[in-house]
């Protein structure tokens, strides 16, 4: 089998290093390089195996275009503005994209959908197998439990995370809303503070914690009088996300232009978020 040529956007960050380790440890992949943002102090420095320190005979590039021209797949866990630029390069060079960037707004996500008409893209808020199973279980539980069960979603991440709630928490909210056949934007409650009044029946609440080096913890609570059901996933290290992203990179090779998610990659049951007919 021909090795898949894989590259990393933001190769020197915490997630970039985890991705590099997973790519090098997968004999179906060939790591062909990585790049950093313009002005990064890492540009021009040698890339090394995170486990052995061995020089990979590659240097950190400041030019994304050079990478897109020779990669089969680029894995991008960067920031929304950078990801939008990478989309344009991917379209030019017909390069598949694995996108784990969080914090994209509706307009930016529309750009992904437009680009996916010409290139294959996997876009997911979380690449862990366990979290994607949690998405499915959240939808099923919300289908079965009526509004006598209040839904609260809590998440905790490391102190360096810049967006809140996390993309994974918002995806869990979408699954919960879909199970109830409501729209999340109409039921979402975030950042309670001060005199908020009583809880409105049917709301979906979010709570956010930041601190330390927590890779990611998410809990969906279904709370009724005298009983509570909790679905929880705790990530130990970023390696679980990196492994999932590499799995997606191998899976997408040869796929037609389309916008996929991890349910497609893993073959999990899925449904589109509920949309009202009004």
Which positions are annotated as active-site residues?
Answer: 157, 161
CA neighbor of 125 nearest in space, from 275, 270, 274, 262: 262
Contacts of residue 248, defined as CB under 8 A and 6 or more positions apart, other chains included, come to 98, 122, 124, 127, 262, 265
Strand-pairing partners, residue 277, are none
Q: Tokens for 89, please give them.
A: 């390069």
Please say whether the dihedral angle defined by the alpha carbons of residues 118, 128, 49 and 15, taken in this order, is positive or negative: positive
Q: Would you say 66 and 90 are in contact if contact means Cβ atoms under 8 Å apart?
A: no
Q: How far apart are CA 85 and CA 129, in angstroms?
A: 28
Q: Tokens for 92, please give them.
A: 């030019």
Q: How many CA atoms lie within 13 A of 162 on its CB side?
A: 7
Please say whether the dihedral angle defined by the alpha carbons of residues 185, 176, 165 and 133, taken in this order, is positive or negative: negative
Contacts of residue 188, defined as CB under 8 A and 6 or more positions apart, other chains included, come to 173, 203, 204, 206
CA neighbor of 246 nearest in space, from 270, 262, 235: 262
Q: Tokens for 141, please give them.
A: 């539980």
Q: How many CA atoms lie within 13 A of 24 on its CB side?
A: 20
């Amino acid at each position: 089998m021909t090795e898949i040529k894989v590259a990393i956007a933001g190769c020197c960050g915490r997630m970039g290093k985890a991705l590099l380790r997973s790519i090098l440890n997968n004999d179906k992949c060939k790591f062909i390089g990585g790049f950093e943002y313009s002005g990064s102090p890492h540009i021009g420095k040698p890339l090394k195996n995170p486990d052995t320190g061995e020089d990979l005979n590659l240097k950190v590039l400041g030019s994304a275009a050079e990478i897109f021209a020779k990669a089969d797949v680029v894995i991008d866990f960067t920031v929304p503005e950078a990801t939008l630029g990478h989309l344009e390069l991917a379209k030019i060079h017909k390069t598949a994209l694995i996108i784990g960037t969080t914090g994209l707004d509706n307009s930016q996500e529309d750009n992904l959908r437009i680009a996916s008409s010409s290139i294959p893209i996997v876009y997911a808020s979380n690449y862990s197998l366990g979290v994607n199973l949690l998405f499915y279980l959240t939808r099923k539980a919300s289908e079965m439990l009526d509004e006598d069960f209040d839904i609260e979603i809590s998440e905790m991440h490391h102190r360096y995370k810049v967006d809140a709630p996390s993309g994974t928490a918002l995806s869990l909210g979408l699954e919960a809303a879909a199970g109830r056949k409501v729209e999340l934007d109409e039921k979402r409650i975030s950042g309670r503070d001060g005199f908020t009044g009583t809880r409105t029946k049917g709301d979906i609440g979010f709570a956010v914690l930041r601190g330390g080096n927590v890779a990611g913890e998410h809990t969906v609570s279904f709370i009724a009088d005298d009983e509570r059901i909790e679905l929880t996933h705790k990530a130990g290290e970023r390696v679980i996300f990196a492994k999932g992203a590499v799995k997606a990179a191998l899976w997408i090779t040869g796929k037609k232009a389309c916008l996929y998610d991890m349910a497609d990659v893993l073959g999990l049951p899925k449904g589109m978020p509920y949309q009202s007919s009004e």
